[in-house]
Amino acid sequence: KKIKVFAPATIANVGPGYDILGLALEGVGEHLEIELLDSNDIIIHPIPGYPDLPLGPDENIAGIVANAMLNQLGRKQGLSIKIQKAVKPGSGLGSSGCTAAATAFALNELLDSVFTPLELVEFAMLGEKATSGKAHADNVAASLMGGFCIIKSYHPLEILSIPFPKDLRIVVAHPQIEVKTADSKKILKKEMAISDVITQMGNIAALISGLTTSNLEWIKSGMNDLIAEPIRSYLIPGFGQAKTLALENGALGCSISGSGPSIFAFCENENQAQVVGDKWKQFYADLEIDSKIYLSKI
């Protein structure tokens, strides 16, 4: 029995929603194939283009997630896992989350859907914990559930899927440098002044209200972050200028994707996204920073 699945890449945090907001990028992501074997071994095949990623079942994210699912069932089951990555690890686009989400979903299908969608998110979070030291759910929830997700609570895990304007488009710039989530989590402050918390809550409230009612002005006014962006932006070459350029060219907002170095802009439609994408292409070329630009639906 075998299955092949696609898991979308994701943008976590989405401005002010550190660890609680995530969205799935349509068409950008990872393909993964799992086959049940007669033996008890979990075999992870070499990953095309990524010779340095570990393949041992206790180190590879797919192996970690699959083992946890099988252990929970008290079941020994050999697996052959083939991973095809489209997004580099350390990109800020939920590359490890894609592998975790794809494994949880695919294996559950082969196990006759014994686990609920929420349980799959919890298994996929184990992959995030192994990679970054923290079991954040914003990437894996969006990759598994699609669309736009809110992690309403971690204990117990509660996830909300929210509506968003159907024409909304995302432009992503992925400068080809690596930022490890584990490192960019450590540099964040552990505490925040209550006055900043109030500002941040106002921003999140405006952003979510704007998304669910298609009020573009509210989306725009809510896209400010006081937790991650002010600190992590130092790790991202050209971030300040790229953000200004996006906003000057009609973007509704711009921030860091996950823990970076990718950045993203919200645009009200395809044409606007094209304009921002073209400006960013030119901008990174002028700076001689090798960067991939994606335009995507949610």
191 has catalytic annotation: no
Binding status of residue 185 toward ligand HSE by CB under 6 A: yes
Binding status of residue 136 toward ligand HSE by CB under 6 A: yes
Q: Among 10-18, 41-49, 166-174, 261-269, which window interacts with ligand HSE (CB under 6 A)?
A: 10-18
Binding status of residue 89 toward ligand HSE by CB under 6 A: no
Residues in the chain: 298
91 appears as a binding residue in the annotation: yes
Q: Which of 259, 262, 272, 291 binds ligand HSE (CB under 6 A)?
A: 259
Binding status of residue 12 toward ligand HSE by CB under 6 A: yes
213 has catalytic annotation: no
| CB of 20 vs ligand HSE, minimal distance in Å | 8
Nearer to ligand HSE, 94 or 222 (CB): 94
Task: Label residue 271 exposed, middle or buried (CB < 10 Å: 0-12, 13-18, 19+).
Answer: exposed
**What distance in Å separates the CA atoms of residue 208 and residue 17, rounded to the nearest whole number?**
10
96 appears as a binding residue in the annotation: yes
Burial 144-165 (b: 16+ CB within 10 A, else e): bbbebbbbeeeeebebeeeebb
Nearer to ligand HSE, 92 or 222 (CB): 92
202 appears as a binding residue in the annotation: no
Name the active-site residue from 103, 131, 181, 268: 181
259 appears as a binding residue in the annotation: no
Question: Of all residues in this chain, which one has the CB nearest to ligand HSE in the complex?
Answer: 258
Binding status of residue 258 toward ligand HSE by CB under 6 A: yes
238 appears as a binding residue in the annotation: no
Residue set of the binding site for ATP: 88-98
The catalytic residues are 128, 181
Residue set of the binding site: 88-98
Per CB under 6 A, residues contacting ligand HSE are 12-13, 18-19, 92, 94, 136, 138-139, 181, 185, 228, 258-259
